[in-house]
Amino acid sequence: MNRMLYHVIVRVVTSVTVLLLAASPTIAQTYPNKPIRMLLPFPPGGGTDSLARIILPRMSQALGQSFVIDNRPGAAGNLAAEIVTKSAADGYTLLMGSSTGMTAAQSLYKLAFDPIKDFAPITQFATASFILVVHPSVPAKTVSELVALAKAKPGSLNYASGGIGSQLHLAAELFKSRAGVDIVHVAYKGGAPAAMAVLAGEAQLIFGSVSASLAQVRAGRLRALAVTGLKRTALTPELPTLDESGFPGFNVETWASFEAPKGTSRNIIRRIHDETVKVLRLPDVIEAMNKIGYAPTGTTPEQYADIKRTESAMWAKLIKNANIRAD
């Protein structure tokens, strides 16, 4: 390449770079100028949908554009994610991600996308612990007593879950692995039938949702032993965590996130993140989220990316070691 051609190429590349850098703030300043489509991987009425209806109206006010909720259940929650990965990276098609879909799914299913590489993480904005509950017939009032019972009578206790590969299943398998106990898995078609099975005594324990289990616990139909996050929950401040109950670092939570297609402008990502964090600080939003068992978080994109990588590795190891195969 002669020197004249080389200098021409350098000038062109430099000019294009300067134009792109100059355009980035402009993109952020004009975004959004039309409604934003938010895909949800589950049907209306569940926890993810409830979160969306708490936070998105306030996000609409903050951003000056409406959010169109698009519930796309299917393929174990992976259909919505795949649609978003194939959408334009312009900030107008986003995903409300779930903890299982963004971390465990790639070890359970053959996906047409990579939950880590094919998304631009925005924020993990809400978390909820699970609650370990037992049928009143189980003679254990603490986690240590439950472990001792399971070790004394291997295979005598059953735990219910909402299906193979569900987060209730994975939480219980992690507990089994950490405790070194033999507890038999009984899979049901959804969390509600699994909870009913424990109420009926068909299974002896479950890692259930705090909000759904609390009424039964307070009525004496179930006994609560611990919650699965690192912090006690607003709904059950009296209950210890598994971390406090002899399982240091045990941390399994269901959570929700905002994801954009890979390649979305960092300025757009930052704008959505910043407005989300502001909304999460509103007292009425905090109260509404707490009522359904969630706590607002609002991580940075970088913090959220670390969470995805860490939990993906944890679930991949567990799924392989426990030989879990999704339905």
* Res. 317 pLDDT band, cuts 50 70 90: very high
Q: What is the mean pLDDT of residues 79-98?
A: 97
What is the Cα–Cα distance from 235 to 293, expressed in whole angstroms?
7
Q: Is 268:260 a contact under the CB 8 Å cutoff?
A: yes
**Alpha carbons 283 and 234: distance in angstroms, whole number:** 14
d(CA 107, CA 97): 16
CATH fold for domain 129-227: D-Maltodextrin-Binding Protein; domain 2 (3.40.190)
Q: What is the pLDDT of residue 15?
A: 45
pLDDT 10s digits, 129-159: 999 999 999 999 999 999 999 999 999 999 9
Q: What is the pLDDT of residues 99-114, one digit of tens each?
A: 999 999 999 999 999 9
Boundaries of every domain in the chain: 27-128+252-321, 129-227
CA distance 61 to 39: 19
pLDDT of res. 108: 94
Q: Which residue has better confidence, 106 or 75?
A: 106
State which CATH number among 3.40.50.720, 3.30.365.10, 3.40.190.150, 3.40.50.9100 fits the domain covering 27-128+252-321.
3.40.190.150
Report, as an integer, the average pLDDT of 264-287: 97
The rounded mean pLDDT for the chain is 91
Q: Calculate mean pLDDT across residues 319-327.
A: 89
SS3 labels along 263-296? CCCHHHHHHHHHHHHHHHCCHHHHHHHHHCCCEE
Report CA-CA distances (Å) from 35 to 64, 112, 195.
Answer: 9, 27, 39
Cα dihedral: 319, 322, 326, 327 (round 10): -170
- Residue 20 predicted with pLDDT over 80: no
Q: How confident is the model at residue 3 (pLDDT cuts 50, 70, 90)?
A: low
Checking 190-193 for CB contacts under 8 A at 24+ apart, the result is 190/162, 190/163, 191/162, 191/166, 192/162, 193/162
| Banded pLDDT at 45 (limits 50, 70, 90) | confident
User: Confidence band (pLDDT; 50, 70, 90) for 9?
Assistant: very low
pLDDT at 209 over 60: yes
pLDDT at 148: 98
What does the pLDDT average to over 167-194?
Answer: 95
Confidence of residue 29 (pLDDT cuts 50, 70, 90): low
**Residue 296 carries which side chain, given as an amino acid letter?**
P
**pLDDT tier at 37, thresholds 50, 70, 90:** very high
Q: Which of 42, 57, 226 is nearest to 147 (CA)?
A: 226
Per-residue pLDDT band for 211 (boundaries 50, 70, 90) equals confident
pLDDT at 212: 86
| Phi, psi angles (nearest 5°) of residue 189 | -90, 70
Tokens representing 33 are 């100028």
- Name the DSSP letter for residue 111: -
% residues pLDDT > 70 (the chain): 91
Distances from the Cα of 31 to the Cαs of 174, 218, 258, 270, in angstroms? 43, 48, 17, 11
List alpha helices for the chain, DSSP H. 3-30, 47-63, 78-85, 99, 105-108, 143-152, 167-179, 191-199, 210-218, 266-280, 283-291, 301-321
CA distance 272 to 297: 14
| Integer Cα distance of 132 and 136 in angstroms | 13
pLDDT at 322 over 60: yes
* Residues listed for the chain: 327
- Asked whether this chain's domains 27-128+252-321 and 129-227 adopt the same fold, the reply is yes
pLDDT of residue 190: 87
pLDDT confidence of residue 11: 54
User: Is residue 10 predicted with pLDDT exceeding 50?
Assistant: no
Q: CB-hemisphere CA count at 13 Å for 107? A: 24
Write down the pLDDT at residue 221.
97
